[in-house]
Amino acid sequence: MSRNVFSQIFYGTVIHSTSLDEITILENALLVVDDYGTIVALEANVQSEKVPERLKALSAFGISFTTLQKGQFIMPGFVDTHNHAPQWLHRGQGQGLQILEWLNQVAFHNESLFKDANHAKRVYRMVVKGMLRQGVTTASYYGSLHGEATKILADVCLEHGQRALVGKCNMARNAPDFYVDASVEESLQVTRDCIHHIQCLDPKGELLRHVLTPRFAICCDESLLTGLGAIAAEHPTMAIQTHFDESEQEKTFTLSLFPQFTNEADLYEYFSLLGPRSILAHCTIMTPYETQRLQDLGCGVAHCPTANMTVGGGFMAARIKDLLRRGVKVGLGTDSGGGYSVSMLNAMRHALVNSFARDFLDARDGTAAVTMEEAFHMATVGGARVVGFGDEVGNFQVGKQFDALLVDVSAARGGITAPLEEVDSLRTMLEKFIMTGDDRNIVQVYVRGRLVHGC
């Protein structure tokens, strides 16, 4: 029998989402990852004295063998389905403003600074390292409108080993003169340049992919949307991200610019930008017709509960439970500047809070409230499906890639986590991490089997 050398072997508690309604907690689990970062075995209830026997049966002899201690567990990495990378430095500014005022008074000026490549290099290193520290192994990034800065963001993601979708932000109107594409033609050409750059960096798209990024229809006229639709047709697997029904103010302005449409679903579908590849951020005030169209077309939703409760004007409680019941793909996003926090733990907590508000407004019987199982699912495998990596990552199904966090909620880690008690179940341990933990509890972060944060 040949000896196979595997890069990582873990033994202890493993937790992942196996369905929308189930968090699977495996005790005394043996998880084996090969040199390519692929999960080749996951077995539960392996008694410690049986581990050598099981490894021999697998012909597995690991370079690294990690035994998890009490209070430690392995879980999938977080997937942030909506993040504005250029907003890293101005998070928390302008809270309470209406969305369009916030863009003009805060966001556009700060994003315009990324015209300077040195500024982009400095900040984007902070972004990617900071996101990895928060356990975000996959992110769907909006870049600025600048081609060079967008290429730098892609370079930094690959350098630090983060799985990412990166897109040049298209915006040819309704923004300050200092922060708008020079023309539709330039916007499309720079987009093509960024696509070429990212495909050269990672030809197979194993870690890094381009995502078409019309900021929203307010910033894109008909010719720009038509051009982006044509690029989407040329690249039939490329993701498309935009903002969708974010607030009443945004939606009213959008429809005033496109009077031939009565809703945003028909608008984006007309320009060939709505379908299974679409990552639609917010979706807080959709009509029943729009909800049905998203379901019929297989669109993905990036739910950003933190941003929806701060910038925007009004407590925008999206009907997430309804979308989940319909089988719509839903993941969580932090949004960054609009949401102030890049913590996916906060996104999970706020998804719960947001849904309780929605339940009070709609049902008052608990039927519109999101469960812990659903929040965990959206933060991991649900998000992976939204951004097009669902076959590769999101849980620990054998054959998927090992994007994972080693979490430690023991007292030795410090932080604000609720202390573990001897009588606490493994489920209680997970809930204490989700509801009271922070990045100090995330000891190690792996992407495709490679340690990208921690030691």
How far separated are the first and last CA of the chain, in Å rounded? 33
Give CATH superfamily name and number for 78-387: Metal-dependent hydrolases (3.20.20.140)
**What's the token pair of residue 253?**
């302005």
Domain boundaries, the chain: 6-76+396-453, 78-387
| Whether 63 contacts 42, CB under 8 Å | no
pLDDT tens, per residue, the chain with 455 residues: 344 556 799 999 999 999 999 999 999 999 999 999 999 999 999 999 999 999 888 887 767 899 999 999 999 999 999 999 999 999 989 887 888 999 999 999 999 999 999 999 999 999 999 999 999 999 999 999 999 999 999 999 999 999 999 999 999 999 999 999 999 999 999 999 999 999 999 999 999 999 999 999 999 999 999 999 999 999 999 999 999 999 899 999 999 999 999 999 999 999 999 999 999 999 999 999 999 999 999 999 999 999 988 876 556 789 999 999 999 999 999 998 888 899 999 999 999 999 998 999 888 888 999 999 999 999 999 999 999 999 999 999 999 999 999 999 998 887 788 999 999 999 999 999 999 999 999 999 999 999 999 98
Is domain 6-76+396-453 annotated with CATH 2.30.40.10?
yes
Single-letter residue type at 106: V
| Whether 369 contacts 355, CB under 8 Å | yes
